[in-house]
Amino acid sequence: MTRAPARRRTELGLIFLVVILTGGLYALAGFGKAGDLPADMGPFLGIIFALLLVGHVAMRRLAPNADPILLPTAGLLNGIGYVFIARLSTHEARLQAVWTAVGMAAFVATLALVRRARDLERYRYTFAFLGIGLLLLPLVPGVGENINGARLWVHLGSLNFQPGEIAKLALAVFFSSALVERADLLSKATRRVGRFLVLDPRYLAPILAAWGLSLVIFLAENDLGSSFLFFALFIGLLWVSTGRTYYLGLGAGLFAIGSYLALNVIGHAQSRVQAWLNPWAHPSTSGYQIIQGEFAIAAGGLFGEGPGQSNASHIPEASTDLIFAVIADELGLMGAAAMLFAYLLMVGTGLRIAVRCERQFEKLLATGLSLILGVQTFVIVGGVTRLIPLTGVTLPFVSYGGSSLVANYILLAVLLRISHDTETPRPTDQIPELYGTGAASL
């Protein structure tokens, strides 16, 4: 218990550093772009400090024993992302500021509502239906909307929202609880086929159904990045819950079949792969975005051109999909590596929280949430750096996009809740002392 104040003190100290860093970067970007301090420097500093402080106070009150580094690291990523969005588009920056406040509110609300992570386990089918419902929402005529060839958006009046972001979290909860229930059945082969003992498919059916359905939905919405994320999450959780490596092989095989089908069926996928393998075939159309991203990264060199000083704003989708290229351009390899470092630390911390959990459900959920964060970062950074085909997922906490930001803050809150649960010594007064406390002889 004596660790709680120490942890929160560490957190507060890191938050001060985050405010200094974000404020400094904002001022630098202002000087670099316009030659002067940004006009709203004072309010900017005040608002980021206030937002982080709200998160910190909520932690002190609601999860005092939780890990101290996740919130400041997320705040740093959020702050750096905001500066680069503001540097690219004032309009988007205003919206992103509002969404950051909503995200922080969602963070506090999640911490306040989910008082014990294990309570989530009981609502597994609620979460399954919620997740699938949210995934289906954009396909509903009149509500859904196509943006950039992917049907991911829901608009209610003037408000646009990507429900798939929240659906990921709901389905991670469902997978974790469903797998905990079946882990034993899934780790032992019981059905004989020829000479081999294989898993009884009956036990897998509900999970496979949920997975297949959501995969079909993703494909119908043309969101390749998210379907890969979802698939990786599913296979990863199967592997972790059963401890059987063959699930990784199974996953690789299914992935190969899936990508083959996707390539032959979805034109969207085909053009993405061609733009990845040879962007120079169509340098002014399908390859344009990737090529501009690569130029930006190359121009950045080791230390970057300086915040606000590059001409990165001409890159298509600079503030969402390609924001990593913009950061690499203006802060160079050092800045880009720092971003990756931040993600590594967050994923590592998430897995460390998972390792320390005593209950399987929390262990799996923490693993799943860390996987979401890590795989999503890999998919988008890999896409921008041309390691894999570029698909439009957001860079967590950094990219412009409200739904993603809110979802990631909720994810963070759940991870911290699990961490708090694990680090809090369990109350020892659950059993009534049978008869007095004396050390009477046996």
Residues in contact with other proteins by CB under 8 A are: 3, 10, 13-14, 17-18, 20-21, 24-25, 28, 31-32, 35, 68-69, 72-73, 76, 183, 243, 303-304, 306-307, 309, 331, 334-335, 338, 341-342, 345, 349, 352, 355-356, 358, 360, 422-423, 425-426, 428, 430-431, 434-435, 439-442
* Residue whose token pair is 């996707």: 262
Which is nearer to other proteins, 240 or 380 (by Cβ)?
Answer: 240
Closest CB 425 distance from other proteins, rounded Å: 6
Outline where DSSP puts E strands in 78-131.
none
* CA separation, residue 183 to residues 124, 196, 301, 424 (Å): 15, 20, 48, 26
State how far the Cα of 170 lies from the Cα of 307, in Å rounded to an integer.
Answer: 37
For 62, the 3-state DSSP assignment is: helix
Closest CB 300 distance from other proteins, rounded Å: 12
Closest CB 75 distance from other proteins, rounded Å: 11
Which is nearer to other proteins, 159 or 431 (by Cβ)?
Answer: 431
Which is nearer to other proteins, 68 or 293 (by Cβ)?
Answer: 68
State how far the Cα of 169 lies from the Cα of 167, in Å rounded to an integer.
Answer: 5
State how far the Cα of 314 lies from the Cα of 311, in Å rounded to an integer.
Answer: 7
Closest CB 101 distance from other proteins, rounded Å: 23
DSSP 203-270: HHHHHHHHHHHHHHHHHHTT-HHHHHHHHHHHHHHHHHHH--THHHHHHHHHHHHHHHHHHHH-HHHH
Closest CB 441 distance from other proteins, rounded Å: 6
State how far the Cα of 149 lies from the Cα of 151, in Å rounded to an integer.
Answer: 7
Q: How far is CA 431 from the centre of its chain?
A: 40
Closest CB 344 distance from other proteins, rounded Å: 10
For 20, the 3-state DSSP assignment is: helix
Which is nearer to other proteins, 202 or 352 (by Cβ)?
Answer: 352
Q: Under a CB-based contact definition with an 8 Å cutoff, are residues 22 and 83 in contact?
A: yes
Which is nearer to other proteins, 113 or 345 (by Cβ)?
Answer: 345
Which is nearer to other proteins, 93 or 357 (by Cβ)?
Answer: 357
DSSP 390: -
Which is nearer to other proteins, 258 or 306 (by Cβ)?
Answer: 306
CA pseudo-torsion sign 72, 380, 91, 34? positive
Closest CB 332 distance from other proteins, rounded Å: 8
Which is nearer to other proteins, 163 or 332 (by Cβ)?
Answer: 332
- Would you state the structure tokens that stand for residue 334, as one six-digit string? 């050092």
Closest CB 341 distance from other proteins, rounded Å: 6
Q: Under a CB-based contact definition with an 8 Å cutoff, are residues 160 and 153 in contact?
A: yes
Q: Under a CB-based contact definition with an 8 Å cutoff, are residues 279 and 291 in contact?
A: yes
Which is nearer to other proteins, 72 or 103 (by Cβ)?
Answer: 72
| Residue 307 φ/ψ, nearest 5 degrees | -60, 130
Closest CB 37 distance from other proteins, rounded Å: 9
Closest CB 260 distance from other proteins, rounded Å: 34
**CA 242-245-247 angle, 5° bins:** 75
Closest CB 33 distance from other proteins, rounded Å: 11
**CA 62-68-70 angle, 5° bins:** 95
Which is nearer to other proteins, 165 or 305 (by Cβ)?
Answer: 305
DSSP 137: G
For residue 161, list its beta bridge partners: 154
Which is nearer to other proteins, 310 or 403 (by Cβ)?
Answer: 310
